Amino acid sequence: MAQPQMRRAIESGVPDNQQYLHPLLKKNYGNWKYHDRPRPGVLHHVAHGGDQVWTVRAGTQRQMDVFTIRRLCDIADQYAEGHVRFTIRSNIEFMLSSEAKVAPLIAELEKSGFPVGGTGNSVSMIAHTQGWLHCDIPGTDASGAVKALMDELIDEFRKEEMPNRVHLSTSCCEINCGGQADIAIIIQHTKPPKLNHDLIANVGERPAVVARCPVAAIRPALVNGKPSLEVDEKKCICCGACYPPCPPMQINDPEHSKFAIWVGGKNSNARAKPTFMKMVAAGIPNNPPRWPEVSEVVKRILYVYKDDARPWERLSDWVERIGWPRFFEKTDLPFTKYLIDDWRGARANLNASTHIRF
């Protein structure tokens, strides 16, 4: 009788990470005694069995060309031990089994244009979204705004002189990736989408577009005898969600798509509970290639926080202690009734949708 065939592995999902680990990390997995930081950009882990690992962290631009990837791999082979990993903020980390290898690796990374730092109470690399390369809805080039800002904050990346760690993020649309951060830079559409009815009739996936709107502002409509859509502009919250399935509903605009700055988000439970960000500046021009207005506002908030916060206060803890009125006084940012939204308006807005009811 024929033997039943072995069931083949399903080749989808996240691969087992053990196969990629540095041998010392694999050997001591879950068995570390303590860790410390000998200098900014270097972590030192000691295992219960006595093994030691030094990890050197360097900043990268996240979106890398083949030349850069090969350069990093060559550095890993020549100066480290052939294993690297990336943090969620796009820093690259090289693991070493000997302290003597740390200084030559740092020298090579710095020489090749990869600054070493981003650990402890530094401004780590900005978590930014992939933008034009992978996504269909960006309102700006997130990587460009990140590059311009990190050029100015490179000393804060290399040193650990902030009151606590500072996580920044940049999102190139209003609705998806980016996440909670101490200071977040987020695109802000200020006008409802403009509809090109001729194209919608031909290329728009109208049911998908109607379903996509979180506040049920889009309805099917007949325009000039052709099937199209209409937007109830009183309901529209200018989120940009309808644009991906239907590019003829153009919302990106060189003048009316702006940047907003949000502060005080954090994911961790350390010392205080996780918090949501609140918007503190809006209507900042989307001004490539260096976005100087965005950098100016972020740096202003960052350096007031650095001077005024107590040791180990995250940005949200600092604002909580001094209060929002003093935050606006100290940072000299203009306050309007639209800022630090407490989400009360959302109840009316979102209850109009088919997706969320509360």
Enumerate binding residues for ligand SF4 (CB under 6 A).
129-131, 135, 137-138, 142, 171-173, 176-178, 192-193, 212-213, 215, 217-218, 231, 236-242, 251
Enumerate the β-bridge partners of residue 194.
250
CA atoms within 13 A on the CB side of 128: 30
At its nearest, how many Å lie between ligand SF4 and the CB of residue 39? 34
SS3 316: helix
At its nearest, how many Å lie between ligand SF4 and the CB of residue 203? 16
Enumerate the β-bridge partners of residue 263.
183, 278
At its nearest, how many Å lie between ligand SF4 and the CB of residue 268? 22
Cβ proximity to ligand SF4, 75 vs 185, nearer residue? 185
At its nearest, how many Å lie between ligand SF4 and the CB of residue 61? 15
Cβ proximity to ligand SF4, 229 vs 309, nearer residue? 229
Cβ proximity to ligand SF4, 177 vs 304, nearer residue? 177
Contacts within 8 Å (CB) and 24+ apart, 218-225: 218/242, 223/197, 224/197
C-alpha Rg value of the chain to the nearest Å = 24
At its nearest, how many Å lie between ligand SF4 and the CB of residue 134? 7
At its nearest, how many Å lie between ligand SF4 and the CB of residue 139? 7
| Residues in Cβ contact with 296 at an 8 Å cutoff, skipping those fewer than 6 apart | none
Cβ proximity to ligand SF4, 116 vs 251, nearer residue? 251
| Residues in Cβ contact with 5 at an 8 Å cutoff, skipping those fewer than 6 apart | none
CA distance to 52, 82, 155, per residue, from 79 (Å): 17, 8, 24
Cβ proximity to ligand SF4, 201 vs 213, nearer residue? 213
At its nearest, how many Å lie between ligand SF4 and the CB of residue 242? 3
Cβ proximity to ligand SF4, 206 vs 212, nearer residue? 212
Cβ proximity to ligand SF4, 173 vs 263, nearer residue? 173
DSSP string, 173-198: SSSSTT---SEEEEEEE-SPPEE-HH
CB-neighbour burial class of residue 66 (10 A; exposed 0-12, middle 13-18, buried 19+): exposed
